[in-house]
A and B are shown apart, each in its own frame.
Chain A
């Protein structure tokens, strides 16, 4: 299996929305490499004719009674929000300036 480079860790961190600092990148690059090499053994045994398991109890289309229930208490949800304004979640800007 390929070994994982510092640049790849930086890319992964960006994908995962983690603003890692340079020391962390160095530290994790080594550790992730060791972890991935050890778990790569899974490719030794699993042949093409083995179906994948995504879930221990195979279930499909689970329905429940369509009963109206009260939603979450609004004031308590608001109290847990990092920023709340005009009865809404306030979020940072979502579009670029251009």
Chain B
């Protein structure tokens, strides 16, 4: 028996809610209250949120209602609530990145993404849990405890953006912001039956995003449907002079592509290296079925080979730690965050070392040391230098593949959601979760994960990944929306409707 708050507004998608708000059928305040109630009702079990900003959310919603009443032009997502990953700076609101070292820190500024959400009238509900500094694939590396997967509370919701994905899958928010450095938007989307998009590198501003690996990090939209992701994508994307790597070109028309939802004549490549023995039987089965559907819709499907993808994981786990060890040097206990052992006698170096020892968790320490090693003299050429060359080879593999096909597809993850605790102290097993998502980050392409069914052996969601060339983000939506529509036709509902009631 669904509880009252479960029944109505919270199960609606963002585009439906925005439409109802704009038409005056429901107020933004009512919509926001329904989601805040839902969070109060279920988040002690899910733990998607690290911070809920109820008062400011209601104030933003009331402002949207006022603007509507006075006849102002509203944006396409005005009044719709959103959950923001705790790696985005939000003025005056605690931003921890899942780490003790930033516990209680309140940024004195907004990230560009947050600024754009505010300007569009999107209502920010709070900050979501994540693996510490986005290092992980399960959200178990959060210093504030794991987030649970709404499909099975004993299982992980993916990571690092497990909080954002779980907030969507538990109907706590219809939209969320994630960031994806090696799969942190797509892998959580896959294991929670939701949609997640990593835009082209440089497509969404990184200003105010606490950096993990600057040449890989990219923020993007998370939602329960392809059209909702497209609407959010168009709100947050676009050039920002405050991020020098931001692309100064028009944003691909992702909303039009999602509405067109047509793959007739499109060439789709199956990546040979991203299938096979390493993939769970039910994942491979659902993937094959989804590919057959795309073929049935008129796409031409061919197999392509990207031979250097086999080396992507190795290159990634050198490049990422190298960049992260440099980026995280800023957490020195001097200007913000934790400071430990400052007794008036100890030197700045000692205080720094004690602070970082106390403030960072195990995975962060591991990666900082790997990065320090990979960048140290005598090892630089063998590790970091070689990894950068592999990055070139992977980019060339993509370029060659995109001469033959318009998009590439693969399963998003090798398995469905695993149990909490299963891999938490086995770094290599954890790293393998991102084997299919990492190549895209190394090359800077755009990619999406969307749900394609439940694995027969465990009844858990499976995701399909679509990969497009840089700045062809619209193709993700064209293909994703077509496949989603076909599945909707078959099932009569979106996959997320099958999530157990909490």
Contact = CB atoms under 8 A, between A and B. Distances in A.
- Do chains A and B stick together as partners? yes
Interface of A: 1, 4, 8-9, 12-21, 24, 28, 31-32, 34-36, 38-47, 50-57, 59, 62, 64-65, 72-73, 76-77, 79-83, 89, 91-94, 96
27 contacts: A16-B369, A17-B349, A17-B353, A19-B354, A19-B356, A24-B365, A28-B369, A35-B317, A35-B366, A36-B383, A41-B311, A42-B387, A46-B386, A46-B389, A46-B390, A47-B389, A52-B389, A52-B391, A53-B388, A53-B392, A54-B388, A56-B442, A57-B202, A59-B244, A92-B348, A93-B346, A93-B348
Interface of A is mostly: loop
Interface stretch (B59-67, B226-234, B265-273, B331-339): B331-339
Contacts of B456: none
Given A38-B314, A56-B201, A89-B335, A31 B427 contact: yes
Nearest to B357: A19
Given A62-B244, A72-B108, A35 B395 contact: no
A81 B470 contact: no
A84 B31 CA distance: 42
A39 B442 contact: no
Nearest to A34: B428
A77 B108 contact: yes
Nearest to B337: A82
B369 A9 contact: yes
Interface string B88-124: 0001100000000000011111000000000000000
B18 interface: no
Contacts of B369: 9, 12-13, 16, 18, 28, 32
Interface of B: 91-92, 105-109, 201-202, 215-216, 241-242, 244-245, 247, 308, 311, 313-315, 317-318, 325, 329, 332-339, 342, 344, 346-354, 356-357, 360, 365-366, 368-370, 372-373, 376, 382-383, 385-393, 395, 427-428, 442-444, 470
Please indicate which of the listed interface residues A16, A62, A65, A89 has the most CB atoms of chain B within 10 Å of its own CB: A16
Given A32-B373, A52-B388, A65-B241, A80 B349 contact: no
Given A18-B365, A45-B390, A39 B348 contact: no
B372 A64 contact: no
Contacts of B354: 19
A13 B376 CA distance: 12
A76 B175 CA distance: 29
B335 A32 contact: no
B346 to A, nearest CB: 6
Contact of B347 (A28, A31, A54, A92): A92
Given A53-B395, A55-B245, A89-B335, A42 B390 contact: yes
A47 B372 CA distance: 24
Given A28-B369, A53-B388, A96-B347, A35 B428 contact: yes
Given A53-B388, A56-B443, A79 B106 contact: yes
Please indicate which of the listed interface residues A9, A34, A39, A64 has the most CB atoms of chain B within 10 Å of its own CB: A39
Contacts of B444: 56-57
Contacts of A42: 311, 314-315, 318, 383, 386-387, 389-390
A78 to B, nearest CB: 9
Nearest to A95: B347
A97 to B, nearest CB: 9
Contact of A82 (B92, B245, B339, B393): B339
Contacts of B372: 12, 15-16
Contact of B376 (A15, A43, A54, A89): A15
A81 B106 CA distance: 10
A39 B357 contact: no
B215 A54 contact: yes
Contacts of A18: 353, 356-357, 360, 365, 368-369
A17 B388 contact: no
Please indicate which of the listed interface residues A31, A42, A73, A77 has the most CB atoms of chain B within 10 Å of its own CB: A42
A61 to B, nearest CB: 9
A94 B443 contact: no
Contacts of A76: 91-92, 106, 108
A9 to B, nearest CB: 7
Contacts of A43: 382, 386
A18 B325 CA distance: 12
